[in-house]
Amino acid sequence: MSRHKKINRVKEIDRRRHRKAKLAKLRVRYQTAKTEAERKDIYNRAARVSPFLTVEELAAPTQHPQRP
């Protein structure tokens, strides 16, 4: 693998990790939100981070795969 491709891959992995962490924080805030307006605002923020995310996916608890 050339150096250029490796750097791009590292950047891509960093973006995914950042997106995953941001969505985890927003997911917790969504679940603890008290009003529907708060939930809508949090969903709009999450949609900017991950445009294909649905309300049901945001409200669902995170599924962590079991490691052997």
Position 30 in a domain: yes
Position 23 in a domain: yes
**d(C-alpha 44, C-alpha 36), whole Å:** 12
Angle at 51 between CA 21 and CA 29, to 5 degrees: 45
**d(C-alpha 52, C-alpha 42), whole Å:** 15
pTM: 0.77
Total structural domains in the chain?
1
Q: Which domain holds residue 53?
A: 3-59
Position 68 in a domain: no
Position 64 in a domain: no
Give the H/E segment covering residue 50.
none
Write down the pLDDT at residue 60.
Answer: 87
Write down the pLDDT at residue 38.
Answer: 97
Position 67 in a domain: no
Residue range 30-66, pLDDT digits in tens: 999 999 999 999 999 999 999 999 999 989 877 666 5
Tokens 């997911």 belong to 27
Position 7 in a domain: yes
